[in-house]
Amino acid sequence: MRRIAIMGAGQAGLFLAIRLIKSGYDVTVISEYSAEELFNGPPTGATYLFDDALQLEKEIGLDLWRDTAYHASAFHINLGTPGGNLDFAIRSRTSKPGASIDQRLKFYQWIKVFQKHGGKFIVSDTTPSDLLGCTSQFDLVIISSGKGPLARLFPKDVERSPHQQPARKLVQIHFNDFEQPGHTRFTSITFDAIMGAGEVITGPFYQKDDIQCAFMLMECVPGGPMDVFDDCKSATQILERAKLMMQSVIPWRYPSLNNASVIDPSAFLKGSFTPVVRKPFVKLNSTATVMGLGDTVILNDPIVGQGGNNAIKMAHAYAQAIIEHGDNIFDSEWMERTFESFWAYSQHVNHFCDLFLSPPAHVIDILKAAEHNPEIAFDFVSGFNHPPGLFPWLSNRETASDYLANKLAVSAFEI
């Protein structure tokens, strides 16, 4: 039986571990925290998953909150001017719903599932010096420790990493009494963008104590009018500051927060990081090589909610490749090949994220057209689930203008 070690009990590592253990592999997960410590620890990113990623979880029996968590099936996208005026708004349904489950609850439950199927779970903070020992005991060692220090072992892929510094300061809270003014509760993702200031993303969130609430992720451009949270020390303070900020920066959103209160004053997330793509493997010596997975090697800003979706899809792709490789050696050529075939997909994910961090004029043109054209709106929101579907038409001015000419000619003809 082939022996696989996975460092990091997160979205990607646990998915891969459970997928492989269910396929008859001998799998060991090494985690810096126990299941209970993860459950009781600080919140992680909201990690809203779209349908394709949810389906992959379902295929291996990990859709544990299918019937309990709200699933959203609509997008509301609003774009405002720096003066606080709403420029245009897009409403569209998605073809299938998505959901956001508190990763503290998800990882806790997934670790239990993994152990129930015979997986070995070891609590240890892996250091670079532990890795060499691991490679002699296992056929394959995967590092899925997120953006933590182990990731830095993997060299940066300069050509695929355009960012030199964080594009946004991230601030996230979980709250209740969230209402879209005059509309449904919890059933849509709302994305408010203000040029030069940042974005506010809200959506349904199934909190770890089985509380259905909402998350709010604020993507603040450093030094801009949304960058006002540095001194906030609790979720309550963040919410109060967000209300003040919204009155001038996103006044149309402010009424939805009128009755809001936070779920847990100590549960909030504040920070920033630089998006980066890394080489997929590290050679520890002439024979020992370890492979990276998830945020460890492809780290994007969460602006369009792709990191967790990508982590699941990447873990699924790695699992397929491991199984197809049979009893052959997992050498660096295999690792490179496996990663590159996933990159054929992820290059579009990365491009989507980067386009939204500083949207060029052709992206704004498409969004404006989507306000009055349901087909364009649907094409666009479907891209969140499957970013390759956005390209090539969203790539540049020429492709976008061809796409728009085509779509608008069709709708004129239909009228």
Binding site for ligand FAD (CB under 6 A): 7-13, 30-33, 44-49, 125-126, 144-146, 148, 150, 170, 172, 217, 269, 294-296, 302, 305-309, 311
Closest CB to ligand FAD among 126 and 180? 126
Shortest Å, Cβ 91 to ligand FAD: 20
Shortest Å, Cβ 162 to ligand FAD: 18
Is residue 54 packed enough to be buried (19+ CB in 10 Å), middle (13-18) or exposed (0-12)? buried
Tokens 């420790």 sit on residue:
145
Closest CB to ligand FAD among 148 and 389? 148
Shortest Å, Cβ 407 to ligand FAD: 28
Closest CB to ligand FAD among 25 and 107? 107
Closest CB to ligand FAD among 77 and 311? 311
Nearest to 16 by CA among 314, 333, 397: 314
Closest CB to ligand FAD among 146 and 204? 146
Shortest Å, Cβ 223 to ligand FAD: 19
Nearest to 75 by CA among 370, 339, 411, 412: 370
Q: What is the torsional sign of CA 115, 120, 122, 126?
A: negative
Q: Nearest 5 degrees, angle CA 308-CA 190-CA 345?
A: 35
Q: Which residue is nearest to ligand FAD (CB)?
A: 10
Asked whether the beta carbons of 8 and 143 are under 8 A apart, the reply is yes
Shortest Å, Cβ 293 to ligand FAD: 7
Please give the backbone phi and psi of residue 84, each rounded to the nearest 5 degrees, phi first.
90, 15
What single-letter DSSP state applies at residue 206? E
Residues 6+ apart with CB under 8 A from 217: 45, 46, 170, 171, 172, 200, 201, 202, 302
Closest CB to ligand FAD among 41 and 265? 41
Please give the backbone phi and psi of residue 350, each rounded to the nearest 5 degrees, phi first.
-65, -40
Shortest Å, Cβ 315 to ligand FAD: 8
Shortest Å, Cβ 127 to ligand FAD: 7
The residues facing 72 across adjacent strands are: 98
Shortest Å, Cβ 180 to ligand FAD: 18
Nearest to 260 by CA among 176, 172, 174, 173: 176
Closest CB to ligand FAD among 32 and 157? 32
Q: Fill in the amino acid letter for 264.
A: D
Closest CB to ligand FAD among 8 and 404? 8
